[in-house]
Structure 1
Amino acid sequence: MEAAEHVSEIASTVVPMVSPIAQIAYVFSEYSHQTGNAMSTKINAQARAHEAMGGRTYVVVSDRRTHDYPEGTLVPYGSTRSTKKEWFTDTERAVDVVLGRTVGRRPCIARFHREALAAVPPDTEALVLYNYAGAITRRLTRSFDGKIVLHLGNEVFRTWRPREIRQVIERTHVTVAVSDYLADSVAQRLGSRPDNLHVLRNGVDSERFRPASRSAGEPCTILFVGNVMPHKGAHHLVAAAHEIAKRTKDFRVHIVGSAGLRPSCGLSAYEVELRRAAAPLGDLVRFTPFVERRSLPAVYAGADLFCMPVEWQEPAGQVVTEAMASGLPVVAARSGGIPEYLGPEGVYVDPHDTAALADALHSLVVDPAERRRRGQVLRARAESFTWERNVQQLMRLVAG
């Protein structure tokens, strides 16, 4: 059965309630507006929707971080891990790759999550872990009486052998992926699709992200939002801006984000080079470092067009649905799960083809009527991607 059929099938049933559930993202992430971590954003949105249904969500968090989202019941835990090794290190990752491929165990990532898992309240009916499949060990299945959910937001199994992947998925009650692309990539690695692997598409808050009126006569602003790292492709947008500037100066490019996920992060070498490449364009290109979550709707409201020229296979792309909800037309790479969210009204371009990217952007820069038309269609499409629907589907899968 295809992923879309799985979603259609579960959408037709009555919504059960599974409560309380416990959510664990990256162990040392903030559960806060002040982080750009997508997992924290999703957990917050799901906690809000779950509470609106009458459920209770425990959010297991490190007591060393700032947590200011009001949704969910915070369950802090103390860590004995050295502050110099708060993040999962490259050495630990390399050890896990070797041991995973040889003996089928990844002890470093399991140990990394042990204190967080020990803090999960005993009345938890379902435990949701984001991406860190190595934490789902036989020991966890023996010690936790509830149902285990693995939530895949990235291609976490790149270094895993098929046998390892299958063992972990079999330990879960359900494994969910944010796109057909991601679910299919797992199935291809295994040679078949596990019965408990389903697609659970992300939602978007269409109340916070809404179309805004722009003053007539303002230059068309092309927006990029995201991690400013090479695989996200902001350099392709800068290259295209040089080409567009040969045809018109009636546009602006606004690149929002940083290489890091916190406002305190300094500029990376890539960010420095990006600014150097944009310098000849003067005020046609503007950079805004990291913006916290609560300020993002205003960023989208100040734009006319969104560009996502990613180089990698983006599993979903939260910024795409935020741009859609904000009523912006979107020019993007046809990669990963992006087309599943963006649909036929997206403008798809190979980001490595600078001329084609510039042509696609320029055609919308000079045609406000077409921008409005595409933006309205994408806004309507975004309204179907709700967090309420996301959590309802999760409840059905966990209860099944």
Structure 2
Amino acid sequence: MYKTIAFNGKFFGAEVTGVHRVAEQLIAATDALIAEHSAHGAEYALVIRNSVKVPPYRNILCVRESPLVRRMHRIAWEQAYLPLARRKDFILNLCNLGPLLHHDCATLIHDAQVYSAPESYSRSFRLWYKFLFFFIGRRHKLIVTVSEFSRQELVHYGVASADKIVVVHNGCDHVLQIRPDEGQLAALKLVPGRYVLALANTQKHKNVAILLKAFARPELQDVTLVLFGGASKASFENLGHVVPPNVRFAGWVTDPELVGLMANAGALAFPSLTEGFGLPPLEAMALGCPVVAAPFGALPEVCGEAALYADPFDPGQWSLKLRTVLDDKTMRESMISAGRRQAGLFTWKRAAQKLFDAVKAATPA
């Protein structure tokens, strides 16, 4: 029996990513569950290496390290200090990586894209992740992932055996707690219901180029494509893509601004060639925004029959499907209803319960 289940809080204070957001939601939802499962007997702690502000957890103790430890590089802290300081604990790593020197771990690996989409990552990034995945998959007691698709991919690429991997789907109900900020609609001169939202990402597997081609077609010339995220118009043009005049770049947006954009969009377009989960489509569905997606990766598993699917290599299909969602009122209303039902299946409480049960099984009394 472990005295403490310790969350690896290395990600607090780092640049916010989708992986980090998932970790925060899982920790918060687990905190809410702990009081209901006090019979488990273990204490829960969040170990962080710096003085950044963290949410006020009720049942998870926040352990802050000394100033000397805080000056350690994040990788050195995770790989050397953390396993030594928590050597008697079971460590939960929620952001793909974890300490190789600690066997008693559960590590959440979101996807196998460093193997399946290598062109989307730098060589050094791929080598580092593959090196760590090789040992994590063999040394850590439990591997968690976010979809059956990712589970199959991790097995296929030899990261871990199937019997060692537990699937914990993400939740999406956090978006319902965010008050929308509609300021971006005015800033970008958007008409509610007459624009399509998508990620601004130049990674090849995100496949945003197909949307640029679709929005250059006559069928969509009167519709605006809004791309949110870090990539700019110049980012795409520098890669040889032609950006049509009806594309607008929102840049980085706050969570309330993103909720405002999703809630008012005519559709969310998600043409990825592979996804370990695909949280934005579910977030959009929860907010009543129809989704057109590529039938690849975990997207069919996550979106089910609530989305329309378009060939990720055919811009004509994307223009046709998006036009249908925007103009066919009956289809639109049906998709909104189906989307809300589908999104309702994915809650953070359910995710935390599945994670809690898996850790309990791996840390028997």
In structure 2, how many angstroms separate the alpha carbons of the residues matched to 1:140 and 1:233? 38
1:321 aligns with 2:243: no
State the AA in 2 paired with 1:128: N
In structure 2, how many angstroms separate the alpha carbons of the residues matched to 1:399 and 1:372? 42
In structure 1, how many angstroms separate the alpha carbons of the residues matched to 2:19 and 2:303? 21
In structure 1, how many angstroms separate the alpha carbons of the residues matched to 2:283 and 2:268? 10
In structure 2, how many angstroms separate the alpha carbons of the residues matched to 1:242 and 1:258? 22
1:331 aligns with 2:315: no
Classify 1:296/1:387 alpha carbon distance in 2 versus 1 (closer, same or farther; 3 Å). same
1:292 is aligned to 254
Classify 1:199/1:271 alpha carbon distance in 2 versus 1 (closer, same or farther; 3 Å). same
**Deviation at residue 296 of structure 1 after TM alignment:** 2.6
1:204 is aligned to 172
In structure 1, how many angstroms separate the alpha carbons of the residues matched to 2:269 and 2:44? 35
Unpaired runs of 5+ residues, structure 1, are 1-17, 87-108, 142-146, 260-266
2:123 is aligned to none
2:121 is aligned to none
1:148 aligns with 2:105: yes
1:114 is aligned to 80
**Deviation at residue 186 of structure 1 after TM alignment:** 2.2
Unpaired runs of 5+ residues, structure 2, are 36-42, 116-125, 186-190
In structure 2, how many angstroms separate the alpha carbons of the residues matched to 1:340 and 1:189? 20
1:257 aligns with 2:229: yes
State the AA in 2 paired with 1:61: I
In structure 2, how many angstroms separate the alpha carbons of the residues matched to 1:70 and 1:149? 24
State the AA in 2 paired with 1:149: A
Classify 1:211/1:68 alpha carbon distance in 2 versus 1 (closer, same or farther; 3 Å). closer
1:42 aligns with 2:25: no
1:63 is aligned to 50
Would you say the 8 A contact 2:78–2:99 is kept in 1? no
Aligned length: 329
State the AA in 1 paired with 2:198: F
**Deviation at residue 54 of structure 1 after TM alignment:** 3.3
Classify 1:59/1:369 alpha carbon distance in 2 versus 1 (closer, same or farther; 3 Å). farther
1:304 aligns with 2:290: no
**Deviation at residue 315 of structure 1 after TM alignment:** 0.8
Classify 1:255/1:51 alpha carbon distance in 2 versus 1 (closer, same or farther; 3 Å). same
Classify 1:130/1:357 alpha carbon distance in 2 versus 1 (closer, same or farther; 3 Å). same
SS of residue matched to 2:163:
coil
Would you say the 8 A contact 2:288–2:336 is kept in 1? yes
SS of residue matched to 1:202:
coil
1:131 aligns with 2:96: yes
State the AA in 1 paired with 2:266: D
In structure 2, how many angstroms separate the alpha carbons of the residues matched to 1:19 and 1:307? 46
SS of residue matched to 1:291:
coil
Would you say the 8 A contact 1:24–1:60 is kept in 2? yes
Identity rate of aligned residues, in percent? 23
Matches within 5 A, 1:227-376: 227-243=201-217, 246-247=218-219, 249-259=221-231, 267=232, 270-271=235-236, 273=238, 277-278=242-243, 280-281=244-245, 284-311=246-273, 313-376=274-337
Deviation by residue 1:258-316 (Cα, 9 ceiling, x = unmatched): 14xxxxxxx585245489833x52xx3221111233543222122120101123x2111
- TM-score w.r.t. the length of structure 2 is 0.75
**Deviation at residue 168 of structure 1 after TM alignment:** 3.6
In structure 2, how many angstroms separate the alpha carbons of the residues matched to 1:338 and 1:271? 24
1:381 aligns with 2:365: no
State the AA in 2 paired with 1:195: D
RMSD, aligned CA: 3.8
Would you say the 8 A contact 1:219–1:252 is kept in 2? no
Match of 2:5 among 18, 21, 25: 21
SS of residue matched to 1:352:
coil
- TM-score w.r.t. the length of structure 1 is 0.70
